[in-house]
Amino acid sequence: MAAEFSHPSFRGRIGVARVDITPPIGIYARNWGAAKHDIANSIHRPLTLTAMVLSSAQDEGPLVIVDADLGWWKSPETARRFRSMILEEFALPEPNLIVALSHTHSGPPLMEPDDDLPGSDLLQTWKSDLDKKTIKAIRKAMDSQIECVLDWHTGRCGLATVRDLSDPNPDNDQIICGFNPDEQADDTLLLGRVTDTEGKIRATLVNYACHPTTLAWDNTAISPDYVGAMRDTIQQATEAPALFLLGACGELSPRHQYVGDTEVADRHGRQLAHAALGTLSDMEPSGTSLQFSETVESGAPLAVWKHEVRELKTRLEARSVPVELPLKNWPSAEELEQQRAECNDRALEERLRRKRDIRRSLGDGRNFELSIHAWRIGDAILIGSCCEPYSILQCELRERFADLTVICMNLINGSIGYLPPRELYDRDIYQVWQTPFDRGSLERTIERMCETIETLI
């Protein structure tokens, strides 16, 4: 019988800093093929970028994670340049940096200059400022490190639903991207709590898998989607920054989405925040375990448990490992650009633009070496890649390593494509025809991540 309960923890030096990265009105901000607008005409909520730095005297460091209210990189090369700038500025080893995106679909695209697009001049000025603000946030987080404890606890939230729906039209043999009421989504929420030596909360981290696609083509405002209200609600309760770590949500999104009403996004954010705060309230005091103390005879024999100070892990370790994934036989970048230039359909033209950018960065080979980043943070493992795997990835990892807390992340250090299960490659479904990766890539990634976790434990 287990006579002790404790949270997976890390003790070390932690610093957190935040900057505002909200772009100006008039910036190019088209992210939906169905959108009739190209530029943003208002601001729903600010976009923020938060840096967290973790150090331990016993291990190599520091580890730096950047959490930004941004969508996705239009090409791997753009993401590589951004990361290289940070790595060089702070002389960091490559595995020690994670740049994580919230994946809002209502922000400025992370892309190279394109003078043909309205608002592109503002986009490039904003992007240049983003580099400077990121450096500022990381430096401030490094300078503000103090002795802290990072604890993790598992909760639940019902915001995410499965978004693979067989087309109700019997004449269409396709799976469309929207709420499927017959499927059950992974509702796992992981809550990280950073506290100082006095027990004061210095930051929280919310790891949850759900696409921020509440706001869509009818929305013309810059918005962090549901993540904005989530942050604000948690921060009002804790008086500390809240970070968002997007989980493996390839097939997960809110039940009610694709709207222009920002209040719907705020409602979703409050739902996630209240679930996170409930999980936070369920945590034991920092640096303690709940231990069986004695049996007291009363009307019944009563088990008395008490909090005891416990020894906390101080280990930090970062690894970056490759996994070779097969690529589809796509047309060349030149062919895709020709198709795009000749296309008169706005939605199709946007698809071809994205496909062209991916092809340019991947090259014309038949395989791609995907980088997996994994951190050991005390008792917990944080692991992810630049892809968007289905939630089966996080479910599988957590099942295989049931004694560990495993924080799974999408869209870190770049963004390329989806990783759907192999059986879906026989169906007409967005995540399959969008991705450059061929059948079996998800399964290869899961196995490589399992191998990586084994080496860390």
Domain spans in the chain, listed from the N-terminal domain onward: 4-288+312-329+366-456
* pLDDT at res. 59: 59
Whether 405 has a pLDDT exceeding 90, the answer reads yes
Q: What is the C-alpha separation between 324 and 269, in angstroms, rounded? A: 37
The answer, yes or no, to whether residue 214 has pLDDT greater than 90, is yes
Q: Which pLDDT value is given to residue 350?
A: 72
For the residues 81-106, what does the mean pLDDT come to? 97
Secondary structure (3-state) at 442: helix
Q: Is pLDDT of 334 > 80?
A: no
- pLDDT value, residue 277: 98
pLDDT at 315: 92
Instruction: Look at strands 380-384 and 405-409 and give their pairing.
Output: parallel
Mean pLDDT value of segment 238-260:
98
Residue carrying structure tokens 């986009």: 123
H runs (alpha helix) in 363-423: 392-400
Q: What is the mean pLDDT of residues 368-383?
A: 96
Give residue 330's pLDDT.
73
- The whole-angstrom separation of Cα 431 and Cα 164 is 9
Mean pLDDT of the chain: 94
Going by C-alpha positions, the residue among 147, 127, 260, 263 that lies closest to residue 199 is 147
Residue 452: alpha-carbon gap to chain centroid: 19
CA separation for the pair 33, 347 (Å, rounded): 4
* Statement: the pTM of the whole predicted model exceeds 0.85: yes
Q: Is the pLDDT of residue 240 over 90?
A: yes
Instruction: Tell me the one-letter amino acid at 315.
Output: R
Check residues 339 and 183 and name the one with the higher pLDDT: 183
pLDDT at 172: 87
For 244, how many CA atoms within 13 A lie in the half-sphere containing its CB?
A: 32
pLDDT higher than 70, residue 442: yes
Query: Tell me, what's the pLDDT at 305?
Result: 95
Q: What is the pLDDT of residue 233?
A: 98
Segment 4-24 mean pLDDT: 96
pLDDT band with cut points at 50, 70 and 90 for residue 58: low
> How large is the average pLDDT for residues 86-91?
97
Phi then psi for residue 92, to 5 deg, are -90, 140
**Which carries the bigger pLDDT value, residue 76 or residue 301?**
301
More confident residue, 335 or 139: 139
pLDDT tens digit sequence for 253-264: 999 999 999 999
- Give the DSSP H/E element, type plus range, for residue 64: strand 63-68
User: Containing H/E element for 206?
Assistant: strand 201-208
- pLDDT recorded at residue 414: 94
Which is higher by pLDDT, 367 or 113? 367
- pLDDT score, position 10: 96
Q: Distance between CA 298 and CA 288 in Å, rounded?
A: 27
First to last CA, the chain: 24
CA separation for the pair 67, 211 (Å, rounded): 16
